[in-house]
A and B are shown apart, each in its own frame.
Chain A
Amino acid sequence: GAVVSQHPSWVICKSGTSVKIECRSLDFQATTMFWYRQFPKQSLMLMATSNEGSKATYEQGVEKDKFLINHASLTLSTLTVTSAHPEDSSFYICSALGRGAWGNQPQHFGDGTRLSIL
């Protein structure tokens, strides 16, 4: 089956540093990738949608200068949390879709990145 690899699985860093999270589709071409944020015992909150080769579409309230998304190839998208602060600590999850209607295919999720900012 389709596999999405997300790296790193957890990261702890000091306030003010930037953190990059990678999301790779290992065995299929991901034309669309999503980035979610999840707080404890809450559902997924969509942050942004990215299509290969174009700028990401951010959800309302998500700072695009804070959360930089790059989808440079059909197998890789990255999320960079710039100048991270403790309030950015969360569980970040990516997912990927192949070509076709979004709803007519499964979303393939990575295993998430636990980000802790000290």
Chain B
Amino acid sequence: SQKIEQNSEALNIQEGKTATLTCNYTNYSPAYLQWYRQDPGRGPVFLLLIRENEKEKRKERLKVTFDTTLKQSLFHITASQPADSATYLCALAGANNLFFGTGTRLTVIP
């Protein structure tokens, strides 16, 4: 069965630095990869979607890469702010299936 690993359970970085979160997967070839943000006690919120034929996607301070050879996606937040502190989830998807990773809890220290 598919396995999704997000690099670490928790990541602390200094405000202003770039946060890089990793999502690795095995036993699966997703056509799409999505990233979500989840705040405590709230439902996840969609951030970005990248397709298997796309290498990179950007949205404001966010950047996602998708390497189907390495079976890895990197999620970057540039110029990080304390308000970026949250849990970030990656999700692999096909036409009619979707699998979530365990998430990385990011803390941006002022």
Instruction: List residues of chain A with CB under 8 Å of any chain B CB.
Output: 4, 6, 34, 41-44, 46, 91, 93, 95, 101-112, 114
Contact = CB atoms under 8 A, between A and B. Distances in A.
B42 to A, nearest CB: 5
B98 interface: yes
Nearest to A44: B100
B102 interface: yes
A43 B103 CA distance: 6
B109 interface: no
B79 interface: no
Nearest to A109: B43
Nearest to B31: A103
- Secondary structure of the A side of the interface? mixed
A102 B96 contact: yes
A102 B100 contact: no
Interface residues of B, number: 27
B95 A43 contact: no
Given A42-B102, A43-B89, A104-B49, A109 B96 contact: no
A104 B46 CA distance: 12
Contacts of B44: 44, 93, 95, 107, 109
Interface of B: 30-32, 34, 36, 41-46, 49, 51, 89, 91-98, 100-103, 105
A111 B44 CA distance: 8
Contacts of B100: 43-44, 46
Contacts of A108: 46
A58 B3 CA distance: 20
Contacts of B94: 101-103
Given A43-B101, A43-B102, A93 B93 contact: no
B96 A101 contact: yes
A46 B99 CA distance: 9
Contacts of B96: 101-102
A103 B30 contact: yes
Contacts of A46: 100
Given A4-B43, A43-B100, A101-B94, 16 more contacts: A42-B102, A43-B89, A43-B103, A44-B89, A93-B44, A101-B31, A102-B93, A103-B49, A103-B93, A103-B98, A106-B46, A107-B36, A107-B98, A109-B36, A111-B43, A112-B43
